[in-house]
């Protein structure tokens, strides 16, 4: 096989695989009822391993957000260490979430010298609570100067420690925040925790006006649906673009794409099912409540979704899900692509955030109840959402802005970059009635007649589904669909919490003023609030088709902001109203916001630059040689034909020759633009990448994809879309 190119080798390797039975995952017979959470230092483990008083004190910190008693930490650390070592752990690590969006860890052994030539296992409260991490190679956006490289990790008591299995053994993982030595947030978790606290304060203020109290904080929940692609790893080996950039920079559309709609909810191929079972087995042990798995719209695209949890936990668990997906894929000879747009012309991958607010005592505050109309408290929370989204659409858009997500948003498969709110007709009607000052009553919940005698009538969802809206009410929660598959969910959750905090503060203040201490005026005050919010902010409500051209124009007419690309969106992080909101509620300082803006812009520039380099290298060293070989072959054969007195067909040769010229031109054009990038500021460079480099990459791609359709298949060096998406 030595004279085969990488692509042919990949195809042969996979053809061999598909004829052998799918690998059987370990532990298929395991019951999740028994193993769920077995690798987590969870409530059950704490109860068993901690003295009663310590357990109670820790529980208070976890549930009510009370400060951790340092005396408790030592006892907990010791118990945690024993629990972990019993299960084979040798090391521990403070896991944190730097601004790269990835998960970072540094492993330390439990063992330390005992002073007489041996070792003892030790893990003190102080090492549990606080770690030191030299994060000088992680982005800090100037929050930590390199001479002061020290960063600290601090235990997040509200996210339980767990054991991560790896081929070599077990590691005790402790979820932590990551701070500079002056207390600035260098990570994604710290602001999320801060925003939760802020949200709780304002939500409780509103609830108090309704005579509702709670001993628990009122926090947000996140239900995160994770989409991903799964392809055979051999193809990735043969495609530098997939290997390095996580997406294909070239590739002609396959003859069959997703036009048959035969993939969504289709039967899961056995090799993939074996992978999924294996993934779920690990996630169950890690206490991640995985619930659904199914095929997604595109070929080779899938989704995994756990049951919703508190935002902080949901975000940590999503990071774990991404880690486990990647790791297990390798074990099964597959590659999990979390990139938002691995294949041009094929649906991309998102990470939908199902968002609600509430707690175990109060339930879900976005639940309209039997009659949304009568549920004044629900309507106040709904108003807060309307106002929040209208005021901070730019900030929310910025929280999902990455180079890779730009390829998905607005591509008629994912929501547009304009942030609008889908409420459905019933709720919109209720609100409009309030605004018009004529409350007719919306009646009871609509029932849906199934038309089958043996089936009872089912309650109709008050929020019908609209998949074209970035922010949709879906019955008892909002589904935010603009986040990309590869991003950490924390950034968007912080923005959702922050904007809700501000609007709940506004609502509480408004109601307090109108009621002036007289609780009998609550009904009237709520009515006035709804009127005011609808008057000022109803422009953000849109129940129609978000993919349509008409909406783009209508949104502009309504004055809704549209930031189509990352360089347009990221500067919103330092808009005055964003800074003042974040500072007011202690979620971000101006400095922290500016750092994020700069880091994310830099990431954008680096991504585009890397992709441009990759595209150039592939075009020069793989595509160009293949095309010129083909041209020679054609020239040779037409020469021979002429010798034999046959008039050769020359149109393919002409096409190939002019394709080669176009390729050469496109390569040179991209090279020139790449090298001419301005270095004034990172924002300038990002804008330049978006306006100049990306279009030149697209032009190069067009030429290459055209050539893929004419060059002899056995000469083409890259696995085709058809092979990657349909061979498994």
Interacting residues toward ligand ADP by CB under 6 A: 221, 223, 225, 292, 305-308, 354, 356, 364, 476-477
In order of 161, 163, 192, 612, the CA distances from 586 in angstroms are: 27, 33, 11, 40
Nearer to Mg ion, 422 or 630 (CB): 422
Residue 476 CB, shortest distance to ligand ADP, in Å, is 5
Q: Taking a C-beta distance cutoff of 8 angstroms, is the pair 154, 175 a contact?
A: no
- Between CA 511 and CA 206 the distance in angstroms is 8
In order of 3, 88, 365, 727, the CA distances from 6 in angstroms are: 9, 41, 56, 16
221 interface partner picked from ligand ADP, Mg ion, none, CB below 5 to 8 A per type: ligand ADP
Q: 683: which residues sit within 8 A by CB, 6+ positions away?
A: 567, 570, 571, 601
Token pair for 277: 């079972």
Residue 225 CB, shortest distance to Mg ion, in Å, is 5
484 interface partner picked from ligand ADP, Mg ion, none, CB below 5 to 8 A per type: none
- Between CA 657 and CA 663 the distance in angstroms is 10
Residue 193 CB, shortest distance to ligand ADP, in Å, is 18
The owner of tokens 């408290």 is 377
The owner of tokens 């193809």 is 235
Rg (CA), the chain: 28
Nearer to Mg ion, 297 or 653 (CB): 297
Nearer to ligand ADP, 248 or 319 (CB): 319
Question: Residue of minimal CB distance from ligand ADP?
Answer: 223
Residue 494 CB, shortest distance to ligand ADP, in Å, is 16
Residue 307 CB, shortest distance to ligand ADP, in Å, is 4
Nearer to ligand ADP, 356 or 377 (CB): 356
566 interface partner picked from Mg ion, ligand ADP, none, CB below 5 to 8 A per type: none
307 interface partner picked from ligand ADP, Mg ion, none, CB below 5 to 8 A per type: ligand ADP
- Between CA 484 and CA 467 the distance in angstroms is 15
57 interface partner picked from ligand ADP, Mg ion, none, CB below 5 to 8 A per type: none
Token pair for 195: 């925003």
Residues found near Mg ion in the complex (CB under 5 A): 352
Nearer to ligand ADP, 251 or 484 (CB): 484
Q: How many residues does the chain have?
A: 728
Helix H, strand E, coil C: the string for 675-724 is HCCCCCCHHHHHHHHHHHHHHHHHHHHHHHHHHHCCCCCCCCCCCCHHHH
626 interface partner picked from ligand ADP, Mg ion, none, CB below 5 to 8 A per type: none
Question: Residue of minimal CB distance from Mg ion?
Answer: 352
Q: How many helical (H) and strand (E) elements, i.e. helices and strands, does the chain have?
A: 25, 20
581 interface partner picked from Mg ion, ligand ADP, none, CB below 5 to 8 A per type: none
Residue 256 CB, shortest distance to ligand ADP, in Å, is 25
Residue 303 CB, shortest distance to Mg ion, in Å, is 9
Residue 223 CB, shortest distance to Mg ion, in Å, is 8
Residue 479 CB, shortest distance to Mg ion, in Å, is 5
* Residue 43 DSSP class: H
Token pair for 460: 């109709």
399 interface partner picked from Mg ion, ligand ADP, none, CB below 5 to 8 A per type: none
Residue 469 CB, shortest distance to Mg ion, in Å, is 12
Nearer to ligand ADP, 399 or 656 (CB): 399
Residue 487 CB, shortest distance to ligand ADP, in Å, is 17
223 interface partner picked from Mg ion, ligand ADP, none, CB below 5 to 8 A per type: ligand ADP
274 interface partner picked from Mg ion, ligand ADP, none, CB below 5 to 8 A per type: none
Q: Taking a C-beta distance cutoff of 8 angstroms, is the pair 645, 668 a contact?
A: no
390 interface partner picked from ligand ADP, Mg ion, none, CB below 5 to 8 A per type: none
- Between CA 614 and CA 631 the distance in angstroms is 24
Nearest partner of 241 among 706, 613, 699, judged by Cα? 613
Nearer to ligand ADP, 131 or 470 (CB): 470
Helix H, strand E, coil C: the string for 589-628 is CHHHHHHHHHHHHHHHHHHHHHHHHHHHHHHHHHHHHHHH
Nearer to ligand ADP, 209 or 290 (CB): 290
Nearer to ligand ADP, 96 or 308 (CB): 308
292 interface partner picked from Mg ion, ligand ADP, none, CB below 5 to 8 A per type: ligand ADP
Residue 487 CB, shortest distance to Mg ion, in Å, is 16
Q: What values do phi and psi take at 164, rounded to 5?
A: -100, 125
Q: What values do phi and psi take at 156, rounded to 5?
A: -95, 100
User: What is the three-class DSSP state of 340?
Assistant: coil
Token pair for 670: 């991209």
Residue 238 CB, shortest distance to Mg ion, in Å, is 34
Chain mean position to CA 499: 19
- Between CA 337 and CA 344 the distance in angstroms is 14
Nearer to ligand ADP, 212 or 297 (CB): 297
Nearer to ligand ADP, 32 or 717 (CB): 32
In order of 57, 217, 320, 501, 694, the CA distances from 177 in angstroms are: 21, 20, 16, 22, 36
Residue 471 CB, shortest distance to ligand ADP, in Å, is 13
E strands along 446-562, which residues? Answer: 447-448, 458-459, 471-473, 478-480
308 interface partner picked from ligand ADP, Mg ion, none, CB below 5 to 8 A per type: ligand ADP
Residue 246, sorted as left (phi over 0), alpha (psi -120 to 50) or beta, turns out to be: left
Nearer to ligand ADP, 90 or 364 (CB): 364
Nearer to Mg ion, 329 or 483 (CB): 483
Nearer to ligand ADP, 139 or 491 (CB): 491
């Amino acid at each position: 096989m030595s004279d085969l190119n990488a692509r042919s080798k990949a195809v042969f390797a996979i053809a061999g695989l598909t004829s052998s039975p799918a690998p059987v995952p370990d532990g298929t017979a395991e019951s999740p009822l028994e193993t769920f959470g077995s690798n987590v230092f969870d409530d059950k483990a704490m109860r068993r391993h901690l003295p009663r008083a310590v357990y109670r004190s820790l529980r208070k910190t976890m549930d009510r957000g009370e400060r951790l008693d340092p005396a408790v930490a030592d006892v907990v650390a010791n118990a945690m260490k024993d629990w972990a070592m019993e299960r084979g752990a040798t090391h521990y690590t403070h896991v944190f979430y730097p601004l790269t969006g990835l998960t970072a860890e540094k492993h330390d052994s439990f063992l330390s010298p005992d002073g007489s030539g041996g070792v003892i296992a030790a893990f003190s409260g102080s090492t549990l609570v606080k770690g030191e991490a030299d994060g000088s190679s992680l982005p800090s956006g100037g929050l930590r100067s390199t001479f002061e490289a020290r960063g600290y990790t601090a235990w997040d008591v509200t996210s339980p420690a767990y054991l991560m299995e790896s081929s070599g053994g077990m590691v005790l993982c402790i979820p932590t925040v990551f701070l500079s030595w002056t207390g600035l947030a260098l990570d994604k978790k710290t602001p999320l925790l801060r925003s939760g606290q802020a949200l709780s304060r304002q939500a409780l203020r509103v609830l108090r006006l309704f005579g509702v109290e709670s001993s628990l904080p009122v926090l947000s929940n996140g239900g995160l649906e994770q989409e991903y692609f799964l392809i055979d790893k051999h193809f990735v080996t043969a495609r530098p673009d997939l290997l390095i950039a996580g997406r294909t920079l070239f590739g002609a559309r396959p003859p069959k794409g997703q036009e048959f709609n035969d993939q969504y909810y289709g039967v899961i191929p056995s090799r993939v099912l074996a992978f999924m079972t294996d993934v779920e087995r690990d996630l169950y042990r890690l206490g991640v409540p995985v619930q659904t798995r199914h095929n997604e719209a595109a070929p080779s695209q899938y989704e995994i979704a756990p049951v919703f949890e508190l935002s902080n936990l949901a975000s940590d668990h999503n990071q774990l899900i991404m880690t486990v997906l990647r790791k297990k894929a390798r074990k099964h000879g597959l590659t999990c692509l979390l990139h938002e747009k691995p294949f041009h012309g094929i649906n991309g991958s998102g990470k939908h955030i199902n968002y609600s607010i509430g707690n175990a005592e109060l339930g879900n505050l976005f639940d309209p109840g039997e009659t949304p109309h009568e549920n004044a408290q629900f309507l106040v929370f709904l108003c807060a959402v309307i106002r929040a989204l209208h005021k901070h659409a730019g900030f929310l858009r910025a929280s999902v802005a990455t180079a890779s997500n730009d390829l998905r948003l607005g591509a008629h498969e994912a929501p547009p970059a304009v942030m609008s709110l889908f409420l459905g007709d019933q709720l919109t009607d209720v609100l409009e009635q309030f605004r018009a000052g004529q409350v007719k009553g919306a009646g009871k919940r609509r029932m849906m007649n199934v038309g089958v005698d043996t089936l009872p009538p089912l309650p109709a969802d008050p929020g019908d589904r609209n998949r074209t809206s970035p922010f949709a009410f879906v019955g008892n929660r909002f589904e935010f669909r603009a986040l990309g598959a590869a991003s950490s969910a924390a950034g968007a959750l912080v923005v959702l919490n922050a904007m809700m905090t501000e609007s709940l503060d506004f609502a509480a203040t408004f109601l307090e003023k109108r009621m002036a201490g007289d609780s009998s005026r609550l009904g009237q005050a709520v009515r006035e609030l709804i009127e005011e919010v609808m008057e000022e902010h109803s422009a953000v409500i849109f129940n129609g088709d978000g993919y349509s051209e008409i909406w783009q124009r209508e949104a502009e007419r309504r004055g809704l902001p549209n930031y189509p690309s990352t360089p347009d969106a990221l500067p919103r992080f330092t808009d005055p109203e964003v800074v003042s909101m974040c500072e007011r509620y202690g979620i971000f300082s101006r400095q922290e916001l500016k750092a994020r803006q700069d880091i994310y812009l830099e990431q954008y520039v680096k991504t585009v630059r890397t992709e441009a380099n990759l595209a150039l290298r592939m075009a020069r060293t793989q595509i160009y040689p293949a095309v010129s070989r083909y041209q020679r072959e054609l020239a040779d054969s037409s020469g021979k034909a002429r010798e034999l007195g046959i008039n050769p067909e020359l149109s393919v040769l002409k096409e190939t020759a002019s394709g080669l010229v176009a390729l050469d031109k496109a390569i040179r054009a991209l090279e020139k633009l790449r090298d001419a990038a301005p270095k004034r500021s990172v924002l300038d460079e990002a804008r330049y990448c978006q306006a100049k480099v990306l279009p030149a990459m697209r032009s190069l791609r067009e030429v290459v994809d055209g050539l893929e359709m004419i060059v002899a298949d056995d000469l083409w060096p890259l696995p085709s879309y058809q092979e990657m998406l349909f061979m498994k």
